[in-house]
Chains A and B, each alone.
Chain A
Amino acid sequence: GAGVSQSPSNKVTEKGKDVELRCDPISGHTALYWYRQSLGQGLEFLIYFQGNSAPDKSGLPSDRFSAERTGGSVSTLTIQRTQQEDSAVYLCASSLYLAEGYEQYFGPGTRLTVT
């Protein structure tokens, strides 16, 4: 079946502009996550959505970052007034939510370059 999809695959923007990144999770997955990977680094958690619960925003690096998930499916990560340090690959993942544990599946990512 279809995996996690993200768009755009690449985004170049000027410093100070706003950007929106989109994630379509695997159908039926109730949990959705955003991560960020800077060049040559591991993945850094940003935000987590589970069903209708309030999202866990503990990983968002500043108030310029926000995310929403509409209808329990598609999610949009918005970065306002982009800075050069925001340049990274932004990865989305989804999973089922099971009491005994859950495997996350990742999309191909959006490579963001802030000039």
Chain B
Amino acid sequence: GIQVEQSPPDLILQEGANSTLRCNFSDSVNNLQWFHQNPWGQLINLFYIPSGTKQNGRLSATTVATERYSLLYISSSQTTDSGVYFCAGYMNTGFQKLVFGTGTRLLVSP
């Protein structure tokens, strides 16, 4: 089945709005990371968050490992937040690779 699932697939916001992106992951995945892929294709690390809550400026993330989900919060969105947000986790099978979700495409309009 699907190992890492993200929602919503697409999101359009007005500048200044808040949003929540969700990542559900199967029990074969752990040690979540959140990335922002900017319009130039660069993957930027946002959070490495196996569990708990972290905050960095206008962004924060929470992972509830026992319930197999993670949330990324964006507050007071800016046009520069536009791009694709990916969550990814490591397989528990002993193979050290990240399994990526299909992403949430965010467009913040002025």
A residues whose Cβ falls under 8 Å from a Cβ of B: 31, 33, 35, 41-45, 48, 50, 56, 58-59, 89, 91, 93, 97, 101-106, 108-109, 111
Contacts and interface: CB of A to CB of B under 8 A. Distances in A.
Q: Is the interface of B mostly helix, strand, loop or mixed?
A: strand
A106 B42 contact: yes
Nearest to A47: B97
A48 B97 contact: yes
Contacts of A42: 86, 100-103
B83 interface: no
Contacts of A31: 96
Nearest to B50: A101
5 contacts: A56-B97, A58-B95, A89-B41, A102-B31, A104-B98
Contact of A108 (B41, B48, B103): B41
B33 interface: yes
Interface of B: 31, 33, 35, 40-43, 45, 48, 50, 86, 88, 90, 95-103
B91 to A, nearest CB: 9
A45 B48 contact: no
A59 B96 CA distance: 11
Given A103-B45, A106-B42, A48 B95 contact: yes
A41 B50 contact: no
B26 to A, nearest CB: 15
Contacts of B98: 33, 35, 43, 45, 93, 104
B35 to A, nearest CB: 8
Contacts of A109: 41-42
A66 B63 CA distance: 36
B43 A106 contact: yes
A56 B100 contact: no
A111 B42 CA distance: 12
A59 B41 contact: no
Contact of A45 (B33, B40, B97): B97
Given A48-B97, A103-B33, A108-B42, 6 more contacts: A42-B86, A42-B101, A42-B103, A44-B100, A45-B99, A104-B33
